Amino acid sequence: MLSIRRRLATLAHLIKPLALAFVGVAILALGLGYILAELYQTLKLPNIFYYLTLQFIPQFWRGALFLAAGVGTLTAGIWTLSDKVVIPIVGQSQTEEVLLDYRRTDRAPRLAVLSGGPGMLVLASLGRNVEAMTCITPVQDPVEYYYRASSMFQFEKVVFVVPTPQPIQVTFVLDNGERVRPSDRITHNEQYADRSVVDVQLDSLNGDVLHVTRQTVDAITSADAIILGPGSLFESIIPNLLIPEVRQALANSRAKKIYICSIMTEPGLTSGFTVGDHVRQIVRYGGFAPDYVLVNAQRVDAEVQRIYAAAHQMPVYLAPEEYEETIVQGNDRGAGSDVVVEGAVVVETDLATAVVQMTASLEDPGKSRTVRVLRHDPDKVSAAIQALLRRGR
C-alpha cells in the first residue's frame, strides 16, 4: 500500500487538471448517453446494437457493468500516468509544468559474469550494488579454485557456478598449425611469443555430449547485464561461448552485454591483436556483438611499456581504421563520443592502475627487482560498468 501511495504521489501536481478532465469526461458521457437514448428510441438500428448495448441484461446490471468497465479503464490510465514525473516550472504558475517520462528501477540489477579467477576478483566489489552476481567459471577450471579464492574476501551476493557438470578439455590451434592447451602455459614460453590462436575447440573427457548446468542458464536468462571479462580472451571467455546451450541462452538474452577488453596482448594467444580483433572473436564464437566494449584509455609510460615489450606484450589499442561510426552521447561530465567497432559501442575510459610486483631483472634473470605493471582497477571497472548500466542503448 505504501508503494502504491508513493507512486501515485508523483501525480500530486496534476490533481486539479485531472479532476477537471474527469468532470469534463463525465459531462461528455452524460450528453452522449442522452443522444444515444434518443437515437435508440426514434431510429431503427441494426440488431448488432441490441448486443452492443447489452439489452439482454437487466438495466441495473447493465449500468453496473459499464460503471465497472469505466472505473477499470480510468484506474489503468491513472496508473500508467503515474509512471511520469510532473515538475512545476519554478517561478511560473502552477498550471505550467514539465512532464518527464521515466522508467523505475526499484531493484538492483542482476549480473552474470563470464571470466577467469583474477577477473572475477576484480568485479567482486560490484556485489555491493547488485541484487545478485553469478560468476560462471571457465569450462576447464575446477570451481573449488574460485571458492578458495573467494574465501579470502568478503564477497556480497556473489556465487560461483560451473558451466558443465562434466570435465571439458580446451584445445587451441595456433597460426602455425600447432595444437596446445591452457595447461601448457604458452604465454610464458618464448617459443610461442609471436604466435596467436586461430581456432578453439572443446572436447569432453568422457566423450559425452556437452550438457550445461541449470544454474548457468538461469543466471544468463535472468540477468540484466552479462559481463565478459576482464580476463584472458581465449582461456577465460571464449571456451564457455563454445557450449551450445550457453551460446543459445546468450543469443536469447535481452540483457546488456559488456565486454571488458584486455589491457595488454597475450604472447602465444593474442599477439598483434587490436580491440577490433578481440571483438571479432566474440562475434565468431559467441554469435553476438557486445553492446559495449570497455577499453583502457590510460597512457602507458615508457618504462612500463618497455617491461611489457620484453615479455612480448603490447597495449591493446583501438585502430582508427576499425571505426564504423561515431556516436555522440552525453554523460555526467558533459558531451562525449564513442565509436562503433564490429557493431559494438567502444567506450574508452581509465580502467587500470599501476601496481608494484617482483619480477626477474631484464639484464640479469638471476636477480629480481620491483617493477610497475598495469592491472584492471576494481573501483574504476566497477564505476565504468555501473555507468553503462545507467546508460540507454
* Cα R_g (the chain), whole angstroms: 30
- Residue 111 identity: L
Listed in sequence order, the residues at least 6 apart from 348 whose beta carbon sits closer than 8 Å to its beta carbon are 295, 296, 297, 318, 338
- C-alpha 141: how far from chain center: 24
Give the Cα separation of 93 and 196 in Å (integer): 68
Give the Cα separation of 191 and 168 in Å (integer): 26
Averaged pLDDT score across all residues of the chain = 82
pLDDT winner (highest mean) among 12-16, 208-212, 273-277, 356-360: 273-277
Give the Cα separation of 216 and 226 in Å (integer): 12
Mean pLDDT of 127-131: 88
pLDDT for position 321: 86
pLDDT for position 368: 62
144: helix, strand or coil: helix
Of 383, 376, 199, the closest CA to residue 296 belongs to 376
At 90, is the pLDDT very low, low, confident or very high (cuts 50, 70, 90)?
very low
Compute the C-alpha angle 90/96/102, nearest 5°.
85
Mean pLDDT of 124-128: 84
Listed in sequence order, the residues at least 6 apart from 150 whose beta carbon sits closer than 8 Å to its beta carbon are 124, 158, 160
Least confident span in 112-116, 154-158, 316-320, 362-366: 362-366
pLDDT for position 131: 92
pLDDT of residue 229 exceeding 60, the answer is: yes
Pairing label, strands 158-161, 132-136: parallel
Cell numbers given for 45: 438500428
Give the Cα separation of 389 and 173 in Å (integer): 36
* Domains in the chain with CATH codes: 2-101 (no CATH), 110-390 (3.40.50.10680)
β-pair partners for 295: 348
- Residue 44 identity: K
Give the Cα separation of 271 and 56 in Å (integer): 81
Mean pLDDT of 280-284: 97
Mean pLDDT of 89-107: 51
pLDDT of residue 45 exceeding 60, the answer is: yes
Q: Using a pLDDT cut of 70, give the percent of the chain over it.
A: 77
Q: For residue range 181-190, what is the model confidence (pLDDT) as tens digits?
A: 999 999 989 9
